[in-house]
Amino acid sequence: MRVTVIDYKAGNLTSVLKALRHLGAETIVTDGDLALVETAERIVLPGVGHFQATDRLDATGLTTAIRAAIARGVPFLGICVGMQWLYAGSSEAPNQPGLAHFKESCTHFVESPEKVPHVGWNSLEVRKNSKLLAGVEPGEYVYFTHSYKAPVTDDTAAVTYYIEPFASAVERGNVMGVQFHPEKSGATGLKILGNFLTWKEAE
């Protein structure tokens, strides 16, 4: 299977590509060739870095192309900032809109004695009949590194607790996002990426 990986020049794609290829996917990277999005079978939007960097998606026309691909039913996975981009925006860059596929916005962790960023391995409370997180058992951990997070809503696929409960995964139909880094989360992360690669619309 083929995966189109979006490069918006906000960090390093090596780990994501490596994990997808390890699972047998053919990867195509684009930083603005819209034809590669128009013909995409699956799309991954990785993310490390600042929400503001997603402005490049708007400038290159990728936002519009991705919106159209999602409407066609192409499975989409956003990772970290790539998940946050699915929301209306983030207080990290208040003037930069997200895709607004989910109407809420992302915010910084509230003030607390705990350290921010939230860095390390934390657990997932899988909340609904998630296809993306199928087979993830209690006691499995995934790797996080972030200071902003999405709120828990009806679309939340998993909740994680750090300072406050937040959405560590979101899922509605063919649109999925994970706040953690599945490409860095050992066997559990590979299982989740594998679920994305085999994701199918319900019969």
**Catalytic residue numbers?**
80, 181, 183
User: Smallest distance, Å, CB 140 to another protein?
Assistant: 7
Residue 27 CA to residue 44 CA, distance in Å, equals: 10
115 binds another protein (CB under 8 A): yes
Residue 161 touches another protein, criterion: CB under 8 A: yes
Polymer length in residues for the chain: 203
Euclidean distance between CA atoms 137 and 77, whole angstroms: 21
Min separation Cβ 72 and another protein, Å: 31
The distance of closest approach from Cβ of residue 184 to another protein in the complex, given in angstroms and rounded to an integer, is 5
Q: Which of 34, 93, 100, 190 binds another protein (CB under 8 A)?
A: 190
**Can residue 49 be called a binding residue for another protein (CB under 8 A)?**
yes
Name the nearest CA neighbour of 157 among 137, 174, 139, 178.
178
Q: How far is CA 203 from CA 42, 199, 200, in A?
A: 18, 12, 8
Window of 6-14, 28-36, 70-78, 84-92 that interacts with another protein by CB under 8 A: 6-14
What's the DSSP call for residue 184?
Answer: G
